[in-house]
Amino acid sequence: MATANNQLDAPMYDPGAWRLTGKQADLTAKARKLGREKFAGRADKWDRDAIFPMENYKDLHKSKLLGICVPSKNGGVGADYMTYMLTAAEIGRYCGTTSLTWNMHVSSCLWTGDLADDLKMTASQRKTHNRRRAIHYKRIVKDGAIYAQPFSEGGAAAAGAAPFGTTATRTDGGWLINGKKIFASLAGSADYYGVLCTEKKQNLSRRDTMYVAVPADAEGVTVVGDWDPLGMRGTVSRNLLFDNVFVSNDEQLMPKGIYFAAATSWPHMFLTLTPTYMGIAQAAYDFTVQYLRGEAPGTPPVKRRMYPTKQLAVANMHMMLEQTKAVWFQAISEAGPNPSKEQVLRAYTAQYSVMENSNELCRMAIRTCGGQSMLKSLPLERLYRDSRCGALMLPWTAEICQDRLGREALYDRGEEDE
Ligand SMILES: Cc1cc2nc3c(=O)[nH]c(=O)nc-3n(C[C@H](O)[C@H](O)[C@H](O)COP(=O)(O)OP(=O)(O)OC[C@H]3O[C@@H](n4cnc5c(N)ncnc54)[C@H](O)[C@@H]3O)c2cc1C
């Protein structure tokens, strides 16, 4: 597992052992090379000053990874959900901020691409959707446009328990968007904000959720508040205000009503925040092995591997990592529309395990490697702080996963006690 400084790390999922497709093997290798050679060395810069990693996005565009989930017929790489997830985990090993923000961007292609293809639409909805998404994909592939995914509002909407308070009101040729989003990663750096909002009617309903691309430079869009958090500092997740922002009809990323159907029938989409943290878990383990062997870059060549307590700790870390990787791999490999109850319960388990165990593995890494390992000159300290954020991310926070898992395991849909 440990490698010399100038060599690439071993794949997280060995293509032969895990039976990856050729495309999965190629893309994960490409991501690992980019991560190791470019992103790892820059990660400290984004973290220290809470700066968005724009330089990395230029590399993602150059290597075609910005369009990873844009269909091939639209000039993209045409990767499916699982291929994207595996690729993002490799990037997460080297820069959590880049992997997490890249997820917000790629999600705009997954919702509108593979997921939308699986959903029922009328012929006219399908035709309009295909025309509109082509505009959106061209921006990404040709111009390197970056999309954000500001859903959270501070209330119950991001957890799926209430309609979004941000509204879209019909007007000539398009819509007027009004509202506020919190924790909007890529704020001030994205070219488009993929906003979830509710069509304004007398009573707001989740069924009327709309998914709209708001150009970042549109009149009425403001980025407010500061961003000085514990971890994932380079995501620059500041707040967004929308004050009567006009967007044309063609900025609808999905036909009206289709986002609600997608979110309901494709629950695995909410696992897309996990690859970043799966990568962090692997990085914490890799660092520990390298450090105890006296081979971690930037540290003196002192071996500590001969102590039985260190060996026991590494054994425990290895088991936790393998268990997490296994349940995550199974969950992402069975993602699709209308999963069975068992598959949904496994998806909650995978989400919970990745988010909690990545932080636990970082904690164990620092505990085992010792004081010198948590200096800011080494990546472990950043991994530890970044890993803390995973369990907090809506809509599937660790708490919400536990809550749903227990309830849905004990009650079938619609079942109640006397
Ligand atoms: C680094 C980072 C980047 C982020 N980027 C984005 C982004 O790009 N776009 C975006 O939309 N959001 C983003 N988020 C926001 C995130 O999903 C949350 O909205 C944010 O952390 C604020 O949530 P809160 O914990 O204050 O929420 P609260 O609503 O105060 O919830 C607190 C906790 O209560 C529990 N809870 C909440 N609602 C329910 C419920 N209905 N049922 C049961 N339990 C519940 C959950 O466990 C939750 O963690 C990001 C968050 C982080 C940490």
Q: Is 230 in the pocket of ligand 1 (CB under 6 A)?
A: no
Cα(378) to centroid(ligand 1), Å: 29
CA distance 116 to 113: 5
Nearest CA-CA partner of 278 in 81, 28, 103, 89: 89
- Determine whether the shortest distance from the Cβ of 401 to ligand 1 is under 6 A: no
160 Cα–ligand 1 center, Å: 11
Q: How far is the CA of 389 from the centre of ligand 1 (A)?
A: 10
Distance 171 CA to ligand 1 centre (A): 32
CA dihedral 115, 118, 121, 124 (to 10 degrees): 80
Q: What is the mean pLDDT of residues 384-404?
A: 97
184 in ligand 1 pocket by Cβ < 6 Å? yes
- Residue 3 is predicted with a pLDDT of 44
User: What is the residue-averaged pLDDT of the chain?
Assistant: 96
The residue whose CA has the least distance to atom 40 of ligand 1 is: 159
Residue 378: band (very low, low, confident or very high) from pLDDT cuts 50, 70, 90: very high
Q: Given this model, what pLDDT does residue 1 score?
A: 40
**What is the structure's pLDDT at 409?**
97
Ligand 1 centroid distance, CA of 393 (Å): 5
Do residues 368 and 288 lie in contact, with contact meaning Cβ atoms separated by under 8 Å? yes
Higher pLDDT, 277 or 1: 277
Range 140-155 average pLDDT: 96
Q: Probe ligand 1: pick from 394, 400, 402, 403, max atoms within 8 Å of CB?
A: 394
Whether the per-residue pLDDT at 160 is higher than 90: the answer is no
pLDDT digits (tens, 9 = 90+) for 314-337: 999 999 999 999 999 999 999 999
Amino acid at position 136, single letter:
H
**What is the CATH superfamily name and number for domain 266-410?**
Butyryl-CoA Dehydrogenase, subunit A, domain 3 (1.20.140.10)
Q: State if residue 183 touches ligand 1 by the CB under 6 angstroms criterion.
A: yes
Q: Which atom from ligand 1 is nearest to the alpha carbon of 154?
A: 29
Q: Is the CB of 104 under 6 A from ligand 1?
A: yes
pLDDT at 20 over 80: yes
Ligand 1 within 6 A of CB of 162? no
pLDDT of residue 367: 98
pLDDT of residue 15: 98
Q: Whose alpha carbon is nearest atom 26 of ligand 1?
A: 154
Pocket-testing residue among 242, 273, 351, 397, ligand 1, by greatest number of atoms within 8 A of Cβ: 397
Instruction: Please indicate whether residue 406, judged by its CB atom, sits closer than 6 Å to ligand 1.
Output: no
- The CATH class for the domain spanning 11-146 reads mainly alpha
Mean pLDDT across 168-175: 97
Residue nearest to atom 25 of ligand 1 (CA): 392
157-256: CATH class = mainly beta
Reported pTM = 0.96
pLDDT value of residue 202: 87
Strands 167-171 and 174-184, sheet pairing: antiparallel
**Quick check: 2 pLDDT over 60?**
no
The Å distance, Cα 153 to ligand 1 centre, comes to 9
**How large a percentage of the chain has pLDDT more than 90?**
94
Average pLDDT estimate for 53-76: 98
How far is ligand 1, taken at its centre, from the CA of residue 238, in Å? 14
Supply the pLDDT for residue 4: 44
Instruction: State the distance from the centre of ligand 1 to the C-alpha of 56, rounded, in angstroms.
Output: 26
Q: What is the three-state SS of the chain?
A: CCCCCCCCCCCCCCCCCCCCCHHHHHHHHHHHHHHHHHHHHHHHHHHHHCCCCHHHHHHHHHCCHHHCCCCHHHCCCCCCHHHHHHHHHHHHCCCHHHHHHHHHHHHHHHHHHHHHHCCCCCHHHHHHHHHHHHHHHHHHHHHCCCEECCCCCCCCCCCCCCCCCCEEEEECCEEEEEEEEEEECCCCCCCEEEEEEEECCCCCCHHHEEEEEEECCCCCEEEECCCCCCCCHHHCCEEEEEEEEEEEHHHECCCCCHHHHHHHHCHHHHHHHHHHHHHHHHHHHHHHHHHHCCCCCCCCCCCCCCCHHHHHHHHHHHHHHHHHHHHHHHHHHCCCCCCCHHHHHHHHHHHHHHHHHHHHHHHHHHHHHCHHHHCCCCCHHHHHHHHHCHHHCCCCCHHHHHHHHHHHHHCCCCCCCC
* Distance of CA 38 from the midpoint of ligand 1 (Å): 31
Nearest to 79 by CA among 56, 97, 102: 102
Q: What is the pLDDT of residue 7?
A: 62
pLDDT band at 161 (very low <50, low <70, confident <90, very high): confident
Distance, CA of 164 to CA of 179 (rounded, Å): 9
With the most atoms of ligand 1 within 8 angstroms of its CB, the residue from 108, 152, 192, 276 to mutate is 152
| Cα of 149 from ligand 1 centre, angstroms | 13
pLDDT above 90 (res 389):
yes
pLDDT band at 418 (very low <50, low <70, confident <90, very high): confident
- Measured by CA distance, the residue closest to atom 50 of ligand 1 is 183
pLDDT per position as a tens digit, 249-293: 999 999 988 999 999 999 999 999 999 999 999 999 999 999 999
Give the pLDDT band of residue 403 (cuts 50, 70, 90): very high
pLDDT category of residue 69 using cuts at 50, 70 and 90: very high
> Could you tell me the distance, in angstroms and rounded to a whole number, from the CA of residue 139 to the centre of ligand 1?
30
Q: Where along the chain do its domains lie?
A: 11-146, 157-256, 266-410
